[in-house]
């Protein structure tokens, strides 16, 4: 700090200026008062900038989607007097918007998964109802969506617990992909054939990664800069 009268630089803890002998004011209380009046706020400018970029990207694509939906809608009315192929095109455009919204990580993982669940369920129901009856959506489409949602929901909790450990996340991801393949074939064919041959190598790889990680944990951390 400096003397308030002559401006000479002062050492820490001095009571008077060695040049003009002016008393050095006590600033400890002033610092505390300053901190109360002007608290330090940590602002992540990069995160704010990325949120702005993501919002701009989504709004740009969403605007294009709205224009495309209106074009498809009026084209179908003019040509056919009703929605023909537009009945399938419009929901497809909307589900693309939902996928982009989720991809841009607009919310937390579990919220995004719930949005995917609702969006895909509605999408499959609309497509299946194109012939005025529900068939494959009830028996296959929606059960597959729910299976994906439940498995991904469990994985989201694993992610929260081990998100700083990349190898563990990869290990669990491979394991859950194997589980999903088994459930997928069970829903579609009511049996397990190809899914077993697909899942077993994934399970073996997951186990090998698990034991390799335990044996060479420090080496993996050094290689992955963790």
What does the domain layout of the chain look like in residue ranges? 1-30
| Cβ-based neighbour number of residue 175 at 10 Å | 20
**Average pLDDT of every residue of the chain:** 84
pLDDT(33) > 60: no
Q: What is the pLDDT of residue 179?
A: 95
Q: Is the pLDDT of residue 36 over 80?
A: no
Query: Is the full-model pTM beyond 0.75?
Result: no
Residue pointed to by tokens 């841009």: 104
E strands, 37-79, in order = none
What values do phi and psi take at 74, rounded to 5? -70, -30
> Mind listing the pLDDT tens digit for each residue in 111-159?
999 999 999 999 999 999 988 888 899 999 999 999 999 999 999 999 8
Q: How far is residue 141's CA from residue 177's CA, in Å, rounded to a whole number?
A: 18
Residue that is written with structure tokens 């012939």 in the block? 131
> So what's the pLDDT on residue 201?
94
Which residues contact residue 100 at a Cβ distance below 8 angstroms, ignoring those fewer than 6 apart?
57, 58, 61
- Tell me if residue 13 falls in helix, strand or coil: coil
Identify the residue with better confidence: 42 or 132: 132
Residue 30, pLDDT above cutoff 60: no
User: How is residue 136 annotated by DSSP?
Assistant: H
Average pLDDT for 54-67: 93
Q: What secondary structure does DSSP assign to 95-109, as a single string?
A: HHHHHHHHHTT-S-H
pLDDT the model gives residue 27: 62
Q: Quick one: average pLDDT of 158-164? A: 86
């Amino acid at each position: 700090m400096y003397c308030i009268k002559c401006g000479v630089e002062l050492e820490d803890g001095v009571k008077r200026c060695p040049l003009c002998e002016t008393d050095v004011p006590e600033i400890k209380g002033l610092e505390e008062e300053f901190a109360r009046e002007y608290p330090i706020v940590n602002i992540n400018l990069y995160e704010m900038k990325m949120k702005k970029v993501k919002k701009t990207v989504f709004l740009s694509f969403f605007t294009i989607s709205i224009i495309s939906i209106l074009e498809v809608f009026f084209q179908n009315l003019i040509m056919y007097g009703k929605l023909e192929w537009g009945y399938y095109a419009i929901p497809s455009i909307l589900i693309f918007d939902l996928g982009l919204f989720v991809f841009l990580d607009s919310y937390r993982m579990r919220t995004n998964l719930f949005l995917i669940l609702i969006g895909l369920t509605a999408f499959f129901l609309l497509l299946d109802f194109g012939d005025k009856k529900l068939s494959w959506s009830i028996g296959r489409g929606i059960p597959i969506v729910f299976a994906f949602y439940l498995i991904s929901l469990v994985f989201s909790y694993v992610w929260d617990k081990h998100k700083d450990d990349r190898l563990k996340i990869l290990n669990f991801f491979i394991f859950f992909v194997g589980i999903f393949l088994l459930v997928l074939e069970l829903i579609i064919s009511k049996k397990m054939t190809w899914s077993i041959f697909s899942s077993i190598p994934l399970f073996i790889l997951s186990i090998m990664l698990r034991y390799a990680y335990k044996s060479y944990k420090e080496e993996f951390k050094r290689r992955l800069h963790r």
